[in-house]
Amino acid sequence: MTSPDRKIIIAIDGHSSCGKSTFARAIAEKTGYLYIDSGAMYRAVTLACMERGLLQGDGVDQGLLAETLGEIRISFRKEPGSSVPQTWMNGVNVEEKIRSIRVASNVSLVSKFSIVRSKLVSLQRAAGKDRGVVMEGRDIGTVVFPDAEIKIFMTAAPEIRAQRRYLELRGKGMEADFAEVQENITERDRLDETRPESPLTRAPDAITLDNSYMTLQQQMDWFCDLLSGMNFSLKCRT
């Protein structure tokens, strides 16, 4: 039984491009909790594999993958004046590179390997060992923190998700083709849901949030209402 004063873990899982990061970041700001984007870690490992030429077809040399994993240091840093953390790998800011469609096309291939998952899951557990975190991904409520006090499973209609990701990429000045973005999202969901290791699935005790027709403000109102009805001292800051 969780004491009402104890810090908790808020686990947010769900489909690709349904706004998990924006929502999780807003919750972290409202609660003063630490925000961790686990997908950025899988993207960073994927980028490292691509830069080292490890991805040939559907396979990856497991020895070289293990070596690469041993050499990667991932961290998150906020630029002064920004609330959005940037992903760094081995001392280099890789935020822009890991969001590219090339990395998105390979990330489900790399993240299916158990050697990758066990390394990243242990980093994620270390980040949440004192609790007080909002962590988003695909297996946070099922594998990383099955004891998370709040689990939210997010989804939205596939066309709406594709539209959001397309606008986000274009907004960042990146090349994007709508059909390619849509295809990437559908394929990533398929691979993430069907992989044998830690597939994307809704935890039985997760609450589903379909945000297809919700603004961020409406999602935050929903979350703060949910939190106020729970027996935790944590409340949304006004």
What does the binding site for ligand DC look like in residue numbers (CB under 6 A)? 16, 38-39, 42-43, 107-108, 111, 137-140, 188, 192
Given the complex with ligand DC, which of 95 and 192 has the nearer CB atom? 192
Report in angstroms how near the CB of residue 186 gets to ligand DC at its nearest: 11
Half-sphere exposure of 6 (CA within 13 A, CB side): 11
Report in angstroms how near the CB of residue 42 gets to ligand DC at its nearest: 4
Report in angstroms how near the CB of residue 235 gets to ligand DC at its nearest: 27
Classify burial at 86, counting beta carbons within 10 Å of its beta carbon; exposed 0-12, middle 13-18, buried 19 or more. middle
Given the complex with ligand DC, which of 6 and 102 has the nearer CB atom? 102
Given the complex with ligand DC, which of 163 and 232 has the nearer CB atom? 163
Report in angstroms how near the CB of residue 178 gets to ligand DC at its nearest: 18
The strand pairing partners of 36, in sequence order, are: 135
Total count of residues recorded for the chain:
238
Report in angstroms how near the CB of residue 122 gets to ligand DC at its nearest: 13
In this structure, are residues 106 and 97 in contact, taking their beta carbons and an 8 Å threshold? no
In this structure, are residues 91 and 97 in contact, taking their beta carbons and an 8 Å threshold? no
What CA–CA distance (Å, rounded) separates 173 from 167? 10
* Residue partners of 129: CB distance under 8 A and separation at least 6: none
